[in-house]
Structure 1
Amino acid sequence: MLRRPAFASIILCAALLAPAITASSASAAQSVQATTHREPPSASSGVYYEIFVRSWYDTNGDGVGDLDGVTAKLDYLKSLGVSGIWLMPINPSPSYHGYDVTDYYGIDPQYGSMADFERLLAEAHKRGIKVILDLVINHTSNRHPWFVAAQHPQDPHHDWYSWATPGTDLAAASAAGDKAWQALPDGRHYLGIFSRGMPDLDYDTPAVRQEMIKVGQFWMRKGVDGFRLDAARHIYLNFRSQEGDPAVLRKNLAWWQQFMQGVRAVNPDAYVVGEVTEGSWRQLAPWYGALSAVFDFPLANRMIDAARSERAGDLARQLQQRYAAFAATAGQPGADAPFLSNHDQNRVMSQLDGNLAHMRVAAALLLTLPGHPFVYYGEELGMRGVKPDPDLREPMRWDRPADAPGETTWKASTAHAGAAVSVQAEQADPDSLLDTYRTLIGWRREIAALRDGAVRAFAVNNPAIVAYRLDDASSHVLVVHNLSGKAQSVALDAAGGTAYADIARQAVPGVTLAGHRLTLPPYTTAILR
């Protein structure tokens, strides 16, 4: 396996060697060269980190992670370089995952108290880390007091949910993949497109809209920085027969625009990212006119495919097209929310069959894209997990011993990764995946175009290379990825125009620039000015 010296050491060595390189030798070949000018680190990398509190860190010894555990590990997150965290649901819920809420204004007592959450928020903000919450408002729990009351037709909450009428097709397929209508013991049916335990709210009822805007504003006033919206497209998309219906899309967008107006009346800078599980970037583009961003599911699949196959295909061209479309709708560049996997998908390392070189490539693809990349907890360690869902959400491993204080034990591991896949084992290892993530995130703090640049594909005649330009007001860079296990060369004048003379960053030593030809070692990324 290719060994990887610490990236920071590479850059430091390059900085020491650079004065000895003459102008003539530099034009002939640049090897392990540092940037000739360095921007001051930004206050933010733009990277968000997804946390399942139950699996994160346990401070009271009950085997379940808690909010104080998130607070206890903020310095780890700070050292990783992330600028924000997304907490999966922390509201009271009868389930282990929390996606069926019984109180939108409360904290799950297994996780702690409101005081614990307020302390977490304050400590995160002290470190420059934003906090966004999972907001699950397409449906409630069937144990929510609203739904319990709604089962009485005379109660005002009856209109908060959708009920079958004599002409309803009770066999209709849900847009979420199962049956849409769920039965009560008395024979009545209600809409619950995810499960019988998750009755859908009816957003044609004004009181529902008012209440959910109130919920958003409540947490904004607490000081949260935004939300991740669960099942955002399913507010009105309930049945499989409605897929692709423009009228349904318009109703969804109109509601979320109203919601955004409500939360931004409290916090004008609220960041709201939606879970919109569409299969094409063209279907995602309209959402950028309603929300801050949506998760880019098609791009996640495309990046993982490129890393696995070691073939670029049309990835660079797709990046240019999607970012241009998103920017046009959002009114600003860099609006995308790319990611590799989350709590609903097989973990990246499992999708890549444990291939560490491919995992590094996937991470480099993700973290050299503008916008707000999202990292799933443990991804930076190489944690594995395949469905069913609980196996995707297993305990974070902090120490080599699985029974060390703070390790969560609510679930036994199915991945059996061992002590090597832990923060303790990887923390000081310059060859670790954790070091790779820290370095890549650090690049984002130092080079503005990685966060905010407009994307333009750079044409290369090499199927193992992905290359694209990133341009913003203060920096212009070329990002080049070698996806393959063999050294590759690229003619930088292929697209004409811009001359690149400075290797600003490189993932492993040995990147060279001779004239207009760039040569990259296997599985590496270079950033040129």
Structure 2
Amino acid sequence: MKKLLLLLLFSATAFAQIDRMEPPFWYAGMHNPELQVMFYGKNIAQYTPSVSNNIVIKNVVRTENPNYIFVTIDTKNVAASDLVFSFKDGKNKVAFTKNYSLKKRREGSAQRKSYDSSDMIYLIMPDRFANGNPNNDNDKSMAEKANRSNDGGRHGGDIEGIIKNLDYLQELGVTAVWNTPVCEDNHSRGSYHGYAQTDVYKIDPRYGTNEDYLRLSAELKKRGMKLILDYVTNHWGSEHWMYKDLPTYEWVHQFPGYSQSNYRMTTQFDPNASKIDAVQCEEGWFVESMPDLNQSNPLVLNYLTQNAIWWIEYADLDGFRVDTYSYNDKAGIAKWTKAITDEYPYFNIAGEVWMHDQAQMAYWQKDSKVAAIQSYNSYLPTVMDFTLHDAISSVFNEDKAGWDSGMQKVYDNFANDFLYPNINNILVFAENHDTGRFNEIYKGDFNKYKMAMALVATVRGIPQLYYGSEIGMAGDKGKGDGDIRRDFPGGWAGDSNNAFTKAGRTADQQKFFDYTSKLFTWRKNKEVIHTGKTTHYVPQDNVYVYFRYNDKDIVMVVFNDSAEARTFKTARFGESLKGRVSGKDIMTGKTVNVAEEMTVAPKSALILELN
């Protein structure tokens, strides 16, 4: 009997196989030469690994789960080559092997230029943009199938749909594309948004393949455009293969099991916060279907860091946007961010810090003097200007000026710019995939849309446009997230009109498109807008005036947010006009006299290149 048991034990271990190996391959010549490869297979931890080519194993980590082993190797001075990992049993015999590749990096990979204030970012929800390949709408390995009648379901948009409409984006003035996550999200419902990923090394097959994503990157670069990956460090989906067999109990935050975040991000830096509240914010789960990752665990942090770097190298990425940045473990997310920017010094990362106070948002930007009070540095290059978004969401309905209403709200937002260490690295936007739709809030008012776009296009920072805004798309957040993420008209065969083409747009859609395209095409080559300084003037009668300037150019921007035409003297702007008496309206090409007084139409914006 004892002999039989030993034989069975030997059989179970001798034929152990590697079900997963991550990263699936790596690159030679990285700034950080240490590579941690995770091997997953039945009882794999009982084997002893070694590597060919005289590669040094620096560390082997086994956890309480015998199905995992983490092997760290030193790739310093190792050329691109094929390696072999061997796994020996207790008798020092090789039980099985696994091939591994170190690939050659692209020329200049480490010095890649990222997106910056010269760009205009276009935010796309791939499932709702365009269905370029109906054959991948459903996949037998994926739980949720396409159903366009379900607002919260899969609709079939994909990577091919984006590729087929890149000419449209280029005509619009887009220079960078940010897609919401495209990695596998295999849940039975709500999987279209992609924020509950179930395999972070694999593109969701309903969007296409890894190779399709690489092709999107290449097609963008042919047009001088950039690709931004939406990266999620805070959580995965509950159907993630690893969550179903955790490497270690501490891979996710447990209470034990699930406990929801209190969402009070101020507890991350509030000196008066209770420990229990701080823990509940950072360690609590975003929702029950999204297990909260524990970035304070070195294995987790290294896994996320290498995965992010792998995608940069593999897909030739130009930047990240990071979801729910300020919910992460503070120390862990700073290490993650620094590790990436150490590898790529010019790589930009925009973190979602959804807060409503400039000091609190500035806390999270790299080299923040606010955070330095607590000896903290996130190393995050870019934060999102949610306070400006808040103002944009109401200000154009406030016809009358007040102490803190009307255009004074916008002025007050920029009055706090001193808090940010890099004011050009601020993402500015009127809406995104989580907020109310601008054209719903303002009932499709074209004049108010023009004012919002003129603001986003001419202030400091990096402008971001949400798909469909440029054709007047609306959507009621009160009806659920699905309604603010409607299908782009013309993205599906049989749509009543095709807004991707001039011939297919309605008159209203064309009106919105023409203004947006002309505005952002003008912005492309305006260094004075990209990196110029700002002088603004306290609003009077709900008229707000600011100047963007450098040594060569001056741009004057005027907003009349009142319901009546306003005439005003220009003498108070003398320090910015610098003797100039006229300017060209960038939208009409007409010359506007600014010598003594100006008259501006109600609910309008005027952008003047001063002569």
> What's the TM-score, normalizing by structure 1?
0.75
> For the residues of structure 2 that align with 1:476 and 1:325, how far apart are their CA atoms?
25
Q: How does 1:78-93 map to 2 (within 5 A)?
A: 78-93=170-185
Normalized per residue, which structure has more strand?
2
Shift, 1:176, TM fit: 6.9
The answer as to 2:318 corresponding to 1:225 is: yes
The answer as to 2:522 corresponding to 1:440 is: no
Please tell me whether the aligned partners of residues 455 and 470 of structure 1 are also in contact (alpha carbons under 8 angstroms): yes
Q: How many residue pairs get matched?
A: 433
Aligned to 1:288: 365
Q: Encode CA deviations 1:128-156: one digit per residue, 9 max, x unaligned.
A: 11111111120111111221112xxxxx4
Q: Encode CA deviations 1:21-68: one digit per residue, 9 max, x unaligned.
A: xxxxxxxxxxxxxxxxxxxxxx98511000111111112224511111
Shift, 1:479, TM fit: 1.3
Task: Supply the AA of the counterpart residue of 1:351.
Answer: I
The answer as to 2:485 corresponding to 1:393 is: yes
Please tell me whether the aligned partners of residues 138 and 232 of structure 1 are also in contact (alpha carbons under 8 angstroms): yes
Q: Encode CA deviations 1:349-385: one digit per residue, 9 max, x unaligned.
A: 0011222221221111111112211100001111011
The answer as to 2:606 corresponding to 1:525 is: yes
Q: 1:231 to 1:514 in 2, by over 3 A?
A: closer
> For the residues of structure 1 that align with 2:453 and 2:390, how far apart are their CA atoms?
13
> For the residues of structure 2 that align with 1:105 and 1:324, how far apart are their CA atoms?
40
Match of 1:69 among 151, 161, 175: 161
Aligned to 2:592: 512
Aligned to 2:249: 158
Task: Supply the AA of the counterpart residue of 1:502.
Answer: S
Please tell me whether the aligned partners of residues 490 and 498 of structure 2 are also in contact (alpha carbons under 8 angstroms): no
The answer as to 2:339 corresponding to 1:259 is: no
Match of 2:557 among 479, 483, 486: 479
Please tell me whether the aligned partners of residues 294 and 336 of structure 1 are also in contact (alpha carbons under 8 angstroms): yes
Q: 1:430 to 1:504 in 2, by over 3 A?
A: farther
Tell me the secondary structure at the aligned position of residue 363 of structure 2: helix
The answer as to 2:131 corresponding to 1:58 is: yes
Q: Encode CA deviations 1:171-215: one digit per residue, 9 max, x unaligned.
A: 8762179xxxxxxxxxxxx96522211010112111111111101
Tell me the secondary structure at the aligned position of residue 124 of structure 1: helix
Match of 2:537 among 443, 458, 462: 458
Aligned to 1:17: none
Aligned to 1:202: 294
Aligned to 1:351: 441
Unaligned stretches of 5+ residues in structure 2: 1-115, 138-154, 266-281, 367-378
Q: 1:514 to 1:476 in 2, by over 3 A?
A: closer
Q: Encode CA deviations 1:306-343: one digit per residue, 9 max, x unaligned.
A: 222245442453243233322xx23xx42211101111
Aligned to 2:418: 324
> For the residues of structure 1 that align with 2:609 and 2:569, how far apart are their CA atoms?
13
> For the residues of structure 2 that align with 1:509 and 1:108, how far apart are their CA atoms?
47
> For the residues of structure 2 that align with 1:430 and 1:383, how far apart are their CA atoms?
8
Q: 1:442 to 1:501 in 2, by over 3 A?
A: farther
Please tell me whether the aligned partners of residues 472 and 508 of structure 2 are also in contact (alpha carbons under 8 angstroms): no
Shift, 1:460, TM fit: 4.8
Q: Which moved more, 1:371-380 or 1:509-518?
A: 509-518
Q: Encode CA deviations 1:76-119: one digit per residue, 9 max, x unaligned.
A: 11111111010101000021211111111110000001111111
Q: 1:172 to 1:194 in 2, by over 3 A?
A: closer
> For the residues of structure 2 that align with 1:514 and 1:52, how far apart are their CA atoms?
43
RMSD over aligned Cα atoms: 2.9
The answer as to 2:103 corresponding to 1:46 is: no
Unaligned stretches of 5+ residues in structure 1: 1-42, 151-155, 178-189, 237-251, 408-417
Please tell me whether the aligned partners of residues 231 and 321 of structure 2 are also in contact (alpha carbons under 8 angstroms): yes
Q: 1:403 to 1:73 in 2, by over 3 A?
A: closer
Q: How does 1:159-174 map to 2 (within 5 A)?
A: 159-164=250-255, 174=262
Match of 2:201 among 74, 99, 105: 105
Please tell me whether the aligned partners of residues 472 and 509 of structure 2 are also in contact (alpha carbons under 8 angstroms): no
> For the residues of structure 1 that align with 2:181 and 2:167, how far apart are their CA atoms?
22
Aligned to 2:390: 301
Q: 1:47 to 1:427 in 2, by over 3 A?
A: farther
Task: Supply the AA of the counterpart residue of 2:365.
Answer: Y
> For the residues of structure 2 that align with 1:473 and 1:258, how far apart are their CA atoms?
38
Quote the sequence identity (%). 27
Shift, 1:507, TM fit: 3.8
Which protein, 1 or 2, shows the higher relative CO under an 8 Å CA cutoff with sep ≥ 6?
1
Please tell me whether the aligned partners of residues 299 and 338 of structure 1 are also in contact (alpha carbons under 8 angstroms): yes
Q: 1:99 to 1:172 in 2, by over 3 A?
A: closer
Shift, 1:160, TM fit: 0.9
Tell me the secondary structure at the aligned position of residue 104 of structure 1: strand
Shift, 1:260, TM fit: 2.5
Please tell me whether the aligned partners of residues 512 and 520 of structure 1 are also in contact (alpha carbons under 8 angstroms): no
Match of 1:499 among 579, 585, 588: 579
> For the residues of structure 2 that align with 1:164 and 1:298, how far apart are their CA atoms?
34
Q: How does 1:119-134 map to 2 (within 5 A)?
A: 119-134=215-230
Tell me the secondary structure at the aligned position of residue 398 of structure 1: coil
> For the residues of structure 2 that align with 1:105 and 1:48, how far apart are their CA atoms?
25
Please tell me whether the aligned partners of residues 448 and 474 of structure 1 are also in contact (alpha carbons under 8 angstroms): no
Tell me the secondary structure at the aligned position of residue 288 of structure 1: coil
Aligned to 1:488: 566
Task: Supply the AA of the counterpart residue of 2:597.
Answer: R
Aligned to 1:242: none
Q: 1:164 to 1:403 in 2, by over 3 A?
A: same
Tell me the secondary structure at the aligned position of residue 248 of structure 2: helix
Tell me the secondary structure at the aligned position of residue 178 of structure 2: strand
